[in-house]
Chains A and B, each alone.
Chain A
Amino acid sequence: MTDIQDKKLTEFDDNDQHPVGFGRMLRKEDARLLRGRGRFVDDVQLPGMLHLAILRSPFAHANIVSIDTSAAEASPGVKAVVTGETLKGLGLAWMPTLSNDVQAVLATDRVRFQGQEVAFVVAEDRYQARDALELIDVEYDVLEPVVDVRKALDPDAPVIRTDLEGKTDNHVFDWETGDEEETNRVFASADVIVKEDIVYPRVHPAPMETCGSVADFDPVEGRLRLWSTTQAPHAHRTLYAIVAGIPEHKIQVIAPDIGGGFGNKVPIYPGYVHSIVGSIVTGKPVKWMEDRSENLISTGFARDYIMRAEIAATAEGRILAIRTNVLADHGAFNGTAAPVKYPAGFFGVFTGSYDIQAAHCKMTAVYTNKAPGGVAYACSFRITEAVYLVERIVDALAYELRMDPAELRLKNFIQPEQFPYTTKTGWVYDSGNYEPTMRLAMEMAGYEELRKEQELKRARGELMGIGISFFTEAVGAGPRKNMDILGLGMADGCELRVHPTGKAVVRLSVKTQGQGHETTFAQIIAEELGIPPADIDVLHGDTDNTPFGLGTYGSRSTPVSGAAAALVARKVRDKAKLIASAMLEVSVADLDWVKGAFQVKGDPGRSVTIQEIAFRAHGAGDLPDGVEGGLEAQICYNPSNLTYPHGAYICVVDIDPGTAEVKVRRFIAVDDCGTRINPMIIEGQVHGGLTDGVGMALMEMISFDEDGNCLGASLMDYLIPTALEVPDWETGYTVTPSPHHPIGAKGIGESATVGSPPAIVNAVVDALKPFGIRHADMPLTPSRVWDAMRGQATPPI
């Protein structure tokens, strides 16, 4: 809980401006959401619509001996009961995951995690569907589960994936990056080596809206309409075409309003496929909406990395090298969402923001009898784990060297003149200027004064901690030469149409889940064309009405789709210029663009506005030779590199020595995401991510008992921060534009989730310094902190 300060707030940001371009601007999407007129998947009502409920396995590991559905079929209102055997007959029992593994749509032979889908019922209402689940009789032969990830590769460990031909162990993949030999050489000559075992426990994105879908298959047209909670409607459509065999042009995926995603809505879940099968089988629209327990126990989790981190440095605090060994728990099916060539996502950025000589990482991923995933939670493809690793081990180094952690970081930053900077693991950081960001955070925090206060408090036996983290993210996947998901290149399309009266519609391949695309993308077009945002409609989330692209996750909307929007507007502007030259009877070379109009060089009185040009483009009279009528353009943008936002975070905590409760007293976040499109929205993204960070650092964890029962199956067990656990956020910013992005913007959606957990943990560990503690694992609940204070800290898994 935070200290509740009874301060009155009477000053407000001046938000109600109407920028024609970048700046604070109120959101266009709020009008409907504030009135209860949003349209979420569960709000979709179609004539004759049926409801679907899923029977899930109570066991983590068991063979299915038999399933008797006769009583369920006879239950009132029931229209269909479908099992794995039924799907097997249709060739639909298995589907590909985003990592080229396969996952059971319904279990046929065996269940491999608690909560796995075993059968589904379609009935007239949701209550009847649930009733019938109770009547399905499944006989299980319970098997020993693999719960402890450290034992998954033991020779006597039960093999989980017996469905994979020739599989004799629970190994998923080995992955390596960096130069092992060189790293070992540097370590051998270092003055100081610090080693720490660091666990990033399994957590869950838990968006407030759970996952669900409404499928409506028209057997006459052979056409499927699917409303679904998806962050990537186009990628999903392609996968449904491949899985279900329905031709792609006959599938329309609609992502309506989405109640938060955080990566949870990137994968295709069996339930979506069930609703499609249910609609095909019954000939009616079918709705599936999971409940909170189902969301927590079966859909994509995040993290679950056990990391051994080592850092080598000189006695003066010059960091020389970092190496790590990681054991990754991927659950029962490898459902990680990451570009194909990056099985560990972008974990390779574990070298952080520091100019070092060598780095090496070795990772082993294994199957366990737990829910599949490894997807997300605003993780930027595993950058969250990488940043936690480096920022934790750098703090451990500061502890050993008795150096101030801020000073240690400042001493080792990559310098501005070194950009573009190629890391020892091969990532090319596009731009950065780290020291001013760090200095601003320290100034906002009053860092020196805080250290003095801490000294006084320590003398009195009070526990106060100050934690720092400094991160560099890699977002905006990605260049199609090496980034694809199941063979689909990670580019994004954009289409812009200016109507005769100068109003416009822009169509995106990405999809908001609350990030405010309808506002920011209108602002990008406004900045480039001078059309007010109010006159620009942003369409997204419907595959029939938008160009192809890979969707919104990994903070990629602004880096990829935002670039596409700027470039498509420039394409329209280029055409507008040709028309303007005809209208003003001057050559193109004699025209200047002033936002919203072309004017004759040296004669500002002679000009035409973009609206006048739009009318002329559609109007009577000849256009210049070679210029078609209309004013519209389309592009597909393939980024040349990722963008690399950075930030400096400082957290202040107080720990009650009597209860070991951690209070986050202050949190200062300075972010640099390059050009800022809408500062209000950026701030909102940061606030949300910081709250995630408090959750992960102090409260959230999906854990299992020895039988593989999920112990975080409701919001009473899986604790998410409320307004009482978080402070009033203090934010600041610096601006280092991306050199390769057309408007210089970088992603911001996940920075705070990535950067905040290490700041909070570093603060707690700093507070516990008097106990001689150098590391403690998340979640830092009162009982875990209590144990740490008594020298009895244990890893959470």
Chain B
Amino acid sequence: MTATLDAPRTAAPRVNPPPRNPAGTLLSILAWVIGVLFVLPVLWMVLTSLHSEENAATNPPSLFAPLTLDGYANFFGAQTGTSPWPALLNSLTASVLSTALVLVLAIPAAYALSIRPVRKWTDVLFFFLSTKMLPVVAGLLPVYLIAQSIGMLDNIWLLIILYTSMNLPIAVWMMRSFLAEVPVEVLEAASIDGCSLPRTLRTVVVPMVLPGIAATSLICFIFSWNELLFARVLTATVAQTAPVFLTGFVTSQGLFLATVCAASVVVSLPVLIAGFAAQDKLVQGLSLGAIK
């Protein structure tokens, strides 16, 4: 306990040179140890994915077994013949298109909530947020029944629409906080020059908040890519996404640990890349824009 309580004292020297006391060194080592412990399962996953199935399933673990890409070959269908590519491409389609749709809807909405706000704009903003809190499972059945009656089951466009609605509140909140930082003078100049709203958005506002748009897109992409419940219930063989493909590994099938780990690595890779790229804005997205 005392170890953690010392932290505020050593926190202030962010402006001063780093502390040189033994307690500080100990706390730094502790931080490193905890960081390594948290990342260890991921490293273990990567290492196991590079072992042969025989070496992956030993007890005690064989750390220094020879590396091979057999696990990845198996995941891509070397033995079973079922390729994960359709599922990966479906995930990519659903994530990219829903993110694009989110941006098209969210940027004008955020404009109407920050730069030229409508009356009671805070109420509207909180309405957006409240829809995010409605559990997905509560609306699942009607969505299923409607999709069934209009023949949209197992159709990637259904997922695109649902993922758009899932991410729209987050995007509106994030984009609002980015747009609020655009200087007024720039927009006044544009309106004096006779710019229409779509043109102002496209040529003036969007270029100024490009980093914010990038961060918003990456976070929407991550959430769409990760989603399982909708995809599991509403898709089958044609439109199944990568997480649904992964559920094929839920039950053990003999020697398959390297393949499972290879599958997990491949499916997580886009999220890891997007997440590390958006690292600085991640917290803002996760707190729905509440924290800068």
A associates with B: no
Interface residues of A (CB under 8 A from B): none
B residues in contact (CB < 8 Å) with A: none
